[in-house]
A and B are shown apart, each in its own frame.
Chain A
Amino acid sequence: MTVTLIQIETKPPRGDWRDPHVELRKGSICYSAAPKNLTALGLPNPRVWQPLDSDWKLPPDWKRIILDGMKERLHKYRSFRLFMDICVRCGACADKCHFYLGSSDPKNMPVARAELMRSIYRRYFTLTGRIFGALAGGRELTEDVIKEWFYYFYQCTECRRCSVFCPYGIDTAEITMMGRELLNLIGCNTNWVIEPAANCFRVGNHLGIQPHGFKDSLDFAADEAAEITGLDFEVPINRKGAEVLFVMPSADYFGTPHYYTLLGYLMLFREIGLDYTVSAYASEGGNFGLFSSHEMMKRLNAKIYEEARRLGVKWILGGECGHMWRVLHQYMDTMNGPADFLDVPISSITGTVFENARSTKMVHICEFTADLIHHGKLKLDPRRNDRWIATYHDSCNPARAMGLLEEPRAILRAVCRNFHEMPENTIREQTFCCGSGAGLGTDENLEMRLRGGFPRANAVKYVKEKHGVNLLTCICAIDKATLPTLLEYWVPGVEVAGVHELVGNALVMTGEKERVVDLRGEPLPSETHAAIGASEGDYA
């Protein structure tokens, strides 16, 4: 098999976007959801099919289901109706989407992606569209439109970068979410989204790791942390009466390089003596419901508060994750609150009251750690991270759905000595997505992921060449899972790490043995420096 490297080139758009025909290709689609997963969640139209089939086996009344679904959502969401109505097609968003920049496919311009839906809205829900049809920008709803929707609504990572530039704040994520909800109604969904959701619903986390497996993973991590530091570690699971419930994305205990971040958490918690527990029931912070429907989001998210109530904790701490924090910050309290059985979060170490989490009672680990560092509660040796020249990738949702920008930077400045920002319009609220979020991070979709990851990688390449950056830090589980592949392709030689991995490296723990390796098991740079110094001395 010959492998053709992807070449990014800009091509002027051709043809008429109102033609719904789309050529589905391997490499840029995700496979369909397996019937057993749909059944497990009670979702409609479970069947065996693939997007590449010509017959998608839609239910006979699919058109009515879609139009009724649209009508219902137009009444339930102001955002949806408003964003259908007010776009002026100024085109400011067009070259802001990483998928458009990487694929040159004009339907990946955020405005075009939304027009795929708007044209149907105009045709069936507006007076002018019903009378003038195509002249008013309307389109008939056909099976080809459904296939087109499937292709393009699963080619949006809901990263919201376009919305930052839109003069009306039109949020393509909102439209994509509606599009996916509608597709879900007729059983057009992808396995990469539905299977993790089904696992999370029944077992507790995306991979379906059962409680004893969960415990094994954490015990293993505790042993590893013990080996590095010479201290004993224990990870409390489902412990009643702890002060804090800690919820992390499950990738932290089964993925690499997430795993090193987990070691960082464990070391931090032990050093400050945090009274915490994790839960095998709420063993997933990530929420793939966000990628299928608001209802599914709520169903999966409900576990966190339920478990906090059962365990009788005072407040909740959340690990490094992107979309997880969109749900926790913007949806959780509304959907499953009020969390009146919890206390306003207070750091027992510094006494800081987290007023910004007064109602939700859930604090981001970067807020927590930045506060510790600011109050001088951690003894840090940033030289232990000297092998890294780091940059920081603002993960989309903490940046654009929260504004968590300075906390991770404050931590990074304290724990490593070489830190360089990427160019201004590729970080903070203008950060570029990894191209694999929102349930697109599957291998059958690799070509599109590489294309979508290109703008991010391009900025990394810039700092690599300018400053010799060799580490991209981030606070998102999907970033950690997918950026290594993308960087290997676009910018070989740059690795990916969570912020708390570097914290774990730099943290000088009370009573620890002299560390010889970092959390990755690689020799510590001080050793290397000493060795170099010694050999130089020999020659001198």
Chain B
Amino acid sequence: MNALYSLLAVLALVVAGFACGQSEPWRIALVTIVPYAAFAALLVGFCCRVVRWASAPVPFHIPVTCGQQTSLAWIRPANIDNPSTRWGVALRMAAEILLFRSLFRNNRARLSCGRLILGETATLWLCSLAFHWALLLILLRHLRFFLEPVPAFVNALERLDGSFQIGAPPLYFSDVILVAALTWLLVRRFRDPALRYLSLFSDYFALFLLLAIAATGILMRYFTRVDILTVKQFALGLAAFRPNAPQALSTLFLCHLLLVCALAAYIPFSKLMHMGGVFLSPTRNLANNSRSRRHINPWNAPVKTHAYAEWEEEFRDKMQAAGIPVEIEGKAEDDGNAHTN
């Protein structure tokens, strides 16, 4: 049901995009107001979420250690998976964010004849990594619409990405990889019973939305051959805060634009915030040095404890009888046989 609803929601967005193309006032609104509104929502929403996380303190030092600690000089520590210094933490975070280190550990448990077998599996890691890197590449490639002159690195990326030329325009690797990885991630949610059980509306919605964005983009580039110059003129106008609404913008483009705006506005309200959150995760971004440096808890409130004096008061007689040293010599001891010190 969640999958169906989210598919319907994305289709509704697509239809809305097409509808906007049919009505002039709506079209103007879509190309002039909606992008700013959506990106304002993204910026403000994103910052609010991050500030809200960051304003909550990290009261305790709780890294999850994934290797040998730094202890005795002759034992080699795992400096990245169990860092004890800031540099180690930086490397650990880099490995986590750029290479998805933890996901790389993934394995699959299966039961066979009453035995548990843990098999290697890298597909989830590979597809997630491929999807994220392809998305980044595609975003960077899009800079060519917003910048004039186009920076050299964007051109270089584009050449690299399109180096496998089938016909014209050249086919981008990133497009193929993105769609393939997204499709696998989606199919996995349908096929794996555990994931089907868990998945919420927002899980499917994000995947469908990204797929719809990719599909409209690919259609424009390879099939309907959108007028790049008009798009660039429009994008430069947006970037310069002088929005224009060229008549030549195709309906498909409007659709693509609306979907992207929807995604941007949706990010701060969704799990897609993991892109900001991963940096703040206290189980990953703290060095495992809680015994060598004191971690401060800003709200470390006093608690009711059972002080030694109270404790001795209750057990003094028994302690003296057993010959355990006490602080205050009690009466029993005056008669004096059991006490030793």
Contacts and interface: CB of A to CB of B under 8 A. Distances in A.
Given A79-B282, A299-B305, A334-B296, A403 B5 contact: no
B115 A211 contact: no
A75 B55 CA distance: 8
A306 B308 contact: yes
Given A135-B201, A334-B61, A335-B300, A356 B71 contact: yes
A298 interface: yes
A331 interface: yes
Interface in B104-137: 105-111, 114-116, 118, 124, 128
Interface in B1-16: 5
Interface stretch (B147-155, B209-217, B231-239, B311-319): B311-319
A211 B5 CA distance: 65
A295 interface: yes
Given A13-B196, A371-B72, A407-B71, 20 more contacts: A8-B116, A77-B59, A78-B56, A86-B273, A89-B200, A91-B198, A128-B269, A164-B102, A164-B105, A166-B102, A167-B128, A237-B325, A307-B308, A330-B62, A331-B60, A333-B290, A334-B60, A334-B294, A357-B291, A360-B290
Contacts of A362: 291
Interface in A373-409: 374, 399-407
Interface of B: 5, 49, 52-54, 56-78, 81-82, 84, 96, 100, 102-103, 105-111, 114-116, 118, 124, 128, 192-203, 269-271, 273-274, 277-278, 280-284, 288-297, 299-300, 303-308, 311-312, 314-315, 318-319, 321-327
Contacts of A302: 303, 305
B195 A238 contact: no
Contacts of B108: 95
Nearest to B109: A95
A506 to B, nearest CB: 20
Interface string A87-115: 11111101110000100001001011001
Main secondary structure of the interface of A (DSSP, over half): helix
Contacts of B77: 403
Given A88-B274, A111-B198, A169 B283 contact: yes
A80 B277 CA distance: 12
Nearest to A459: B116
B285 to A, nearest CB: 8
A259 B309 CA distance: 30
The 8 residue pairs across chains A and B that have the minimum distance between CB atoms? A403-B69, A86-B277, A12-B193, A212-B322, A169-B283, A403-B65, A13-B197, A95-B109
A240 interface: yes
User: Per DSSP, are chain B's interface residues mostly helix, strand or loop, or mixed?
Assistant: loop
A168 B53 CA distance: 14
Interface residues of A, number: 118
Contacts of B322: 211-212, 215-216
B124 A404 contact: no
Contacts of A306: 305, 307-308
A88 B312 CA distance: 53
Nearest to B66: A429
A407 B303 contact: no
Interface string A51-85: 00000000000000000000000111111111001
21 contacts: A15-B197, A75-B56, A77-B56, A79-B282, A89-B271, A101-B109, A136-B202, A165-B103, A165-B105, A170-B281, A210-B315, A211-B319, A216-B322, A237-B325, A306-B307, A334-B290, A334-B300, A357-B292, A362-B291, A403-B66, A403-B78
A479 B220 CA distance: 62
Interface in A184-210: 201-204, 210
B116 A405 contact: no
Contacts of A101: 109, 111, 116
Nearest to A107: B197
A123 B54 CA distance: 22
Interface in A117-138: 126-128, 135-137
Given A338-B294, A403-B67, A13 B303 contact: no
